[in-house]
Structure 1
Amino acid sequence: MRHFPDNLGLATDLLLHAETGIVESRDDYIVVRTPDAPEYFFGNMLVLPQQPAGSDLKRLEHDFAHLVGKPPSIAHRTFTWPESVDSVVTLDAFIEQGYDATVCRVLAAHPDDLRPVATSALVEVRPFAVQQDWDDWSRMQLADMPNPEEITSQRYMAHQQTAYKTLIDRGLGNWWGAFIGDEQVGSLGLFFLDGIARFQSVITAPQHRNRNVCKSLMAEVIRRTAGRSHQFVIVADEAYHAGEIYEAMGFQRQGRVASLCQEPRNITER
């Protein structure tokens, strides 16, 4: 694994980005760019070696403009970096300047670590097979976003669909749906990179949450891909409860990934 071998979340993120965009080591950064999707905030970013200090802000914004881009082509700023399980993350200086901060836990499990969980007999799990599966997926994902009606959100989802289909066509994994009858009630991606199985965008429809849909979906996908990897990795926002579901399945905390993102409407010239 070329970058961040001690943080499987960030390492597999970069392997995925390398398949669908451009990943380069430049100066003190890893630069991620997705030229055909300039509005993809986390596909056009600087990866830092460690948590930045407030005094780094001006330098980081200058380097982002130079290495990633600036308006009108790139209208956001995103930075991400690895954190340890128990580090203190202090980002107030950035939040005061219009940045959104996110800290995610990185969870990993070897196949033998995984434990049986409660599942639902109503849920059928299968790979996406027709365009309708992807259309339903897009609607569910958009409904879970802050601004689903914005054209930028819709263009982002269209790009993600194309990128994931490309990964599938290359034989790197699949997108799986959970269905009750004909209704798609959840989905996830699972891709295989350097012997690691990395989950992507696990989601359950709001009206079907707390009904073992997620556990059923993950358990069945893991069962049906047995033998293809020696380790499973998933990244979960610490602000949400999903991480507890994964830990109940046997996933263990391996590290964290933190990020700062300043969306276009919050950009000011400094």
Structure 2
Amino acid sequence: MNVHDDNLGLATDLSFHRESAIVEAHDDYLVVRTPDAPDYFFGNLLVLPRRPAVGELERLEGDFARLVGAPPRIAHRAFTWPESAEGAVDVEAFVQQGYDLTVCRVLAAHPRALRPVAINPDVEVRRFESQQDWDDWSRMQLADMPDPDDIRSQRFMANRKAVYRQLIDRGLGDWWGAFIGDEQVGSLGLFFLDGIGRFQWVITSERHRNQKVCKTLVTEVIRLTEGLSNRLVMVADEAYHAGAIYEAMGFRPQAERVASLCREPGSPAAL
């Protein structure tokens, strides 16, 4: 399964999973399970060595049920794999069965290779210090989800908050907020695992977007953590604009992307 070691996105994902979940090798897969968070789709998945081919859907779903779990406890299906840097990802047979495809770019940089960018001088950047910081973080993250009131979304957020706080208590990183006055307007996590700094969940509140909050937050966090790692990694959905922001700062696209398929509970093919 060393095929994943050359992909910084998957490698750092797996580093996180090994700190907070169960990662085991079975046949051609890496199996990731988070038993206390069955609603965490990408914490309960199969990591594949390559893109799934037409005709493999039935076998993969059977292996997922056998190795990860099945309804009612595990009601989704999720797979991820390394992708080439360019080109379309053709998994139409899976999409027709209710799966959503996500393809993420992987970007990396040496901290000193990053370029200065315009920032918002009204934004203060600091580590989370209080329960209020985490409560505001939860509200902002939930507001960015398709169904914030869904109990599964709320359980997922509660689990992620507990995991991140445990990693912070162990000295593996911090969660950082961007504040204008007393209002939290953005946040991100930066954790250092296996010598690499990996960013997590960079977000700006909806009404403060396009105000250089993200650039300010990332720039300041890199400055405040200087010396902790010579390699920083971002993974960004290529369907959104965030990757362009990071490239403008000096992050460079890597040779491979990360692709995933997820069929959530309640999708037409899952009913």
Identity of aligned residues (%): 69
Answer yes or no: is 1:8 the counterpart of 2:8: yes
Indicate the SS of the match to 1:55.
Answer: coil
In structure 1, the residue matched to 2:258 is 257
Helix, strand or coil for the counterpart of 2:166?
helix
- The residue correspondences of 1:213-232 to structure 2 (distance < 5 A) are 213-232=213-232
| Superimposed CA distance per residue, residues 165-201 of structure 1 (whole angstroms, 9 cap, x where no aligned partner) | 0110110000000000000000000000111000000
Q: Distance in 1 between matches of 2:138 and 2:165?
A: 13
Output aligned runs, 1:45-194, within 5 Å. 45-194=45-194
Residue type of the alignment partner of 2:169 = D
Whole-angstrom CA distance in 2 between matches of 1:148 and 1:225: 32
Pair 1:20 & 2:20 matched: yes
Distance, in Å, in 1 between the alignment partners of 2:142 and 2:91 is 28
Equivalent-residue separation in structure 2 for 1:188 and 1:22 (angstroms):
24
Q: Which runs of 5+ in 2 are unaligned?
A: none
Residues 32-72 of structure 1: CA deviation (Å, up to 9, x unaligned) = 00000011000000000010012110000000000000001
Structure 2 counterparts to residues 192-207 of structure 1, below 5 A: 192-207=192-207
Gaps of 5+ in 1: none
SS at match of 1:78: strand
| Post-superposition offset of 1:267 | 6.8
In structure 1, how many angstroms separate the alpha carbons of the residues matched to 2:238 and 2:135? 29
AA of the residue aligned to 2:85 = V
8 Å contact kept, 2:31–2:45: yes
Amino acid at match of 2:134: W
**Cα RMSD after superposing both structures:** 1.5
Moved over 3 A (4+): 267-270
Structure 2 distance, partners of 1:43, 1:88, is 26
The secondary structure found in structure 1 opposite 2:32 is strand
CA contact (8 A) 1:3 1:11 kept: no
Provide, for residues 239-261 of structure 1, a one-character-per-residue CA deviation record: whole Å limited to 9, x for no partner: 10010000000001112100000
Amino acid across the alignment from 2:262: C
Return the offset for 1:264.
1.1
Question: CA, structure 1 residues 224+266, in 2 after alignment: closer, same or farther (shift >3 Å)?
Answer: same
Alignment partners' CA distance in 2, 1:162 and 1:269: 30
Deviations 1:64-122 (A, max 9, x none): 00000000111000000011211431011111000011001000111232100110110
Once residues 220 and 267 of structure 2 are traced to their aligned partners in structure 1, the CA distance between those partners, rounded to angstroms, is 42
Kept in 2, the 8 Å contact 1:104–1:258? The answer is yes
Task: Give 1:2 deviation, angstroms.
Answer: 6.8
Other structure's SS at 1:35 match: coil
- Cα distance between partner residues in 2 of 1:259 and 1:14: 14
* Normalised TM-score (structure 1): 0.97
Distance 1:76 1:178 in 2: 34
* Partner AA of 1:24 in structure 2: E
Q: Is the 8 A contact 1:2 1:11 kept in 2?
A: no
Matched letter for residue 83 of structure 2: E
Give 3-state SS (helix, strand or coil) of 2:187's partner.
strand
Match of 1:265, SS state, is coil
Q: 1:202 to 1:64 in 2, by over 3 A?
A: same
How many residue pairs match? The answer is 270
1:233 aligns with 2:233: yes
Distance 1:136 1:41 in 2: 23
What amino acid is aligned across from residue 246 of structure 1 in structure 2? Y
* SS of equivalent to 1:264: coil
| 1:268, distance to aligned residue in structure 2 (A) | 4.5
